[in-house]
Amino acid sequence: MMENPKSQVPNPMRPYLGTLVGTKKLATNIRLFQIELDDPVEREKFFVWRPGQFLFFSALGVGEAPFGFANIPECGPAIEVAIHDVGHVTRHIHMLPLGSTVGIRGPLGNHFPMDEIKGQNIVVLGGGIGGAPLRPVIQYILSHRADYGHLTIFWAARSPDLLVFTDEYDEWNNAPDTEMHVTIDRPAEGWTGNVGLITQILEQVAPSPESTT
């Protein structure tokens, strides 16, 4: 008997159990968490999210909170989310040891129209923890480089210690037909890069609006 196509679509209201398999510091009080779903069948159904969507991450017995996906499914078996320790639930998530069982609901929300903007030049503006949900856009474009025009990345934070994914900047900046501009809001000791609001750097670089999204 043919399987109902709807059974292949994940139920965003149902929590899926997963295991915390990795974590690393991104910035002050910000960590990247990697979760693998325990059931391989559920994992296959779940791995359909698109750049811009989000999920609910549950620390069992504590509560859940929404976070944007910080990677694309093509990157591997783990779901990645960047979480800022700013409240009750996020504090408990930051305290979870590797191997902890967690709950995941999603994918939820609208996604960026990656198919519709093929062939166009792309400008990505990310600031602090707000840049994490835009990392999938960058990953997707670099994974499908021939489908898009020039990529300009503007990345910012109040101070150097709040910049996220710093270990990936060289890869992004050296990718074909790609440029990256990093800035902080105020001067900081040891900082030799741009200083100023991201909007000021955008005005200085002034990417051409022609065929640009």
Q: What is the pLDDT of residues 106-115, one digit of tens each?
A: 999 999 999 9
| Predicted local confidence at residue 197, as pLDDT | 93
Confidence of residue 8 (pLDDT cuts 50, 70, 90): low
Within this chain, domains 6-107 and 122-205 share the same CATH topology: no
The domains of the chain are located at 6-107, 122-205
CATH 2.60.40.10 fits 6-107, yes or no: no
Q: Is the pLDDT of residue 3 over 50?
A: no
Contacts 24+ apart (CB under 8 A), 111-117: 111/49, 111/50, 111/51, 111/52, 111/53, 112/50, 112/51, 112/52, 112/137, 114/50, 114/51, 114/140, 114/141, 117/148, 117/213
Q: Is the pLDDT of residue 21 over 60?
A: yes
pLDDT per position as a tens digit, 114-157? 999 999 999 999 999 999 999 999 999 999 999 999 999 999 99
Confidence of residue 15 (pLDDT cuts 50, 70, 90): confident
Q: Fold for 122-205, please state it.
A: Rossmann fold (3.40.50)
Q: Is the pLDDT of residue 101 over 90?
A: yes
